[in-house]
Chain A
Amino acid sequence: MSEKRLIASEQIAPVTEEGTEYDFYFGPAHSGSGNFGVKLKVDGERIVSARADPGYLHRGFEKLMEYRVPMQNAVLSDRLCILEALNWNLVHAEAVDELTGVEVPERARYIRVLMAELSRLQSHLIWYGVMSLALGFDTGFKIAFGYRDYVLDIFEFITGGRVYPAGYICPGGVRRDLPEGYQEKIVNLLRQTEEMMQKIKDFANVVFARRTKGVGILKLEDALRLGATGPVLRACGMKTDVRKDDPYEIYDELDFDIPTEREGDAYARCLIRDREMEESIRIIRQVLERMPEGKVRQPEKITPPKRVKIPEGEVYVRNEVARGEAGIYMRSVGEGEPYRVKVRGPDFLHMIPVLEHLLKGSQIADVPAIYWSLNICPADMDR
């Protein structure tokens, strides 16, 4: 099928002497591109080369964190990647906890994992909605955003904010305990999400397979060289996940699988995210069964910021957020504010080297399928 397409486009005679090559800017105001631009050199319908154009959302996060104390940074850390606020909250809180050496209570760890997995579920629902929209499948978009709202209701019930939980996962534990009646609500939510997953399976073969099979193939050695992590790397055949390789919180006590595929194309990445949603539901069920009693914060009272100092030291914390491997390097010299914070987001590698590599040689009509199958978030690339 692809051979036929090649020959047809080469047979079209060029309009001018110079040929059919032109520059195409898939820019930030384009409805299919998020806040990120890609400059493409196109020849007819084939893309010859691509150059990423980041920086529309650059705020200088890392240096903003140097002016604020950890409890203020916890509120700021939701906004590192807006689509999965609680996951990044967790990374930052772990970095500060490791520096201060505090022992986080057991119940707080379980609550952290519960919120992180709910946030991963919500992030994959957004991905499903936006991917369907990019492929022209409007029903999937409406369904995904409809079901995502139920997860946001739970966030509002527990933390107070629909999208930004205002630093709910803070250094030392979590800010406040879970309210009464959270179990029925979460069990209800899981039932609704499974209902939606059933609908997704019915759509997958018809809609997604046709547009994403064989498109944007990434081989394993290229993925390792370009720095891909998370679902993008797992789709190439490498069975690795930070939750299993470098366990944090209570993930080493829970029972879950790591879905992998072999082909490395956009369809494989879609299948992996579907299965990850199922694994998240499985983890949430285990956490609800095993939730212990106890304190939720160590120390219990939140003291005014100016009196607490972070001990001297440096740490590098790795977590698995919905998009891949997240890292924070924090260096402190004994003052109230950290001296240097370096944030390593998975999208920094996915949006520049991996995207430029995948777009080379593909067709213009395949650009949305490749672009959104990488599940990008410009906010955590620019920081």
Chain B
Amino acid sequence: MVKQATKMKRLINAIWIFNWFNSCGFCELVPLVGSRWDMERFGMIITGTPRHADVLFIAGYQTFKSIKRAQIIYEQMPDPKAVIALGACTMSGGMYWDSYNTVKRLTDYIPVNIYIPGCPPRPEAVFEACMKIFHHVGAVPPHGKKFAKSQSK
């Protein structure tokens, strides 16, 4: 992600998301769109097609059938892009560690940038993960600091 940071700095002030949620992700990502946790005030919206998206949210455990589709979606997203893996089952098999049909190591299939642990993680954790992307690309200064005059666009 370091190489992309310079590219992303000029493009990103708001990130558009493509949701690939299996089961548990649905319960904790859809309230983010709702009025209480409202992610649109940060500029994040959900797009219907991967070609418009910057960030792919993989939320929930993956099975072999669905990881193939996730790979196709990842390849359809244009650069620069990031992948966020949400939930314990996505990262390491979680509660279904002994199931024959779930994916245990997500990085074997898709490169992941940020992991969000939890079963399921709270909406505040998802916002913090998105904040880390903004910090990383320099769109938002880290906590307690301000942009130097020469750095701001």
Question: Which one of A27, A58, A141, A379 has the greatest number of beta carbons of chain B within 10 Å?
Answer: A58
- Knowing A28-B69, A57-B22, A163-B120, say if A145 contacts B99 (CB, 8 Å): no
- Residues from 7 to 58 in B contacting A, C-beta threshold 8 Å: 19-24, 26-28, 30-31, 33-36, 46, 48, 50
Q: Which of A56, A57, A76, A142 contacts B34 (CB under 8 A)?
A: A142
Are B31 and A379 in contact, with the CB atoms below 8 A? no
**Whole-angstrom distance between the Cβ of B16 and the nearest chain A Cβ:** 13
List the one stretch of B59-67, B130-138, B145-153 in contact with chain A: B59-67
CA distance in complex: A286, B33 (Å): 34
Are B27 and A82 in contact, with the CB atoms below 8 A? yes
Query: A146's closest neighbor in chain B, by CB?
Result: B35
Are A148 and B99 in contact, with the CB atoms below 8 A? no
Interface residue? B122 (CB, 8 A): yes
Query: A75's closest neighbor in chain B, by CB?
Result: B95
Q: Which of B28, B48, B96, B122 contacts A59 (CB under 8 A)?
A: B96
Are A64 and B34 in contact, with the CB atoms below 8 A? no
Are B99 and A64 in contact, with the CB atoms below 8 A? yes
Report chain B residues within 8 Å CB of A55.
63, 65
- Residues from 55 to 100 in A contacting B, C-beta threshold 8 Å: 55-60, 64, 67, 75-76, 79, 82-83
- Knowing A145-B30, A149-B34, A163-B28, say if A56 contacts B63 (CB, 8 Å): yes
Report chain A residues within 8 Å CB of B50.
29
Are B31 and A56 in contact, with the CB atoms below 8 A? no
Are A145 and B98 in contact, with the CB atoms below 8 A? no
**Whole-angstrom distance between the Cβ of A126 and the nearest chain B Cβ:** 8
Are B66 and A28 in contact, with the CB atoms below 8 A? yes
Q: How many residues of B contact A (CB 8 A)?
A: 34
Interface size bracket, A side: 20 to 34
CA distance in complex: A57, B90 (Å): 12
Main secondary structure of the interface of B (DSSP, over half): mixed
- Residues from 87 to 131 in B contacting A, C-beta threshold 8 Å: 95-96, 98-102, 119-120, 122
Interface residue? B73 (CB, 8 A): yes
Are B96 and A145 in contact, with the CB atoms below 8 A? no
Interface residue? A164 (CB, 8 A): yes
CA distance in complex: A59, B65 (Å): 11
**Whole-angstrom distance between the Cβ of B50 and the nearest chain A Cβ:** 8
Query: A31's closest neighbor in chain B, by CB?
Result: B48
Report chain B residues within 8 Å CB of A67.
98
CA distance in complex: A28, B63 (Å): 13
**Whole-angstrom distance between the Cβ of A48 and the nearest chain B Cβ:** 25
Are A82 and B99 in contact, with the CB atoms below 8 A? no
Are B99 and A59 in contact, with the CB atoms below 8 A? yes
Report chain B residues within 8 Å CB of A64.
96, 98-99
Interface residue? A362 (CB, 8 A): no
CA distance in complex: A164, B26 (Å): 13
Which 4 interchain pairs have the tightest Cβ spacing?
A: A145-B34, A146-B35, A56-B66, A59-B99
Sample of 8 A–B contacts (CB below 8 Å) = A27-B69, A29-B69, A56-B65, A57-B23, A67-B98, A83-B26, A145-B35, A378-B23
- Residues of B that sit less than 8 Å from A by CB: 19-24, 26-28, 30-31, 33-36, 46, 48, 50, 61, 63, 65-66, 69, 73, 95-96, 98-102, 119-120, 122
Q: Supply 7 further A-B pairs (C-beta < 8 A) apart from A142-B34, A145-B35, A148-B34.
A: A27-B69, A35-B66, A55-B65, A60-B99, A83-B27, A145-B34, A163-B120
- Residues of A that sit less than 8 Å from B by CB: 27-29, 31, 34-35, 55-60, 64, 67, 75-76, 79, 82-83, 129, 141-143, 145-146, 148-149, 152, 162-164, 378-379
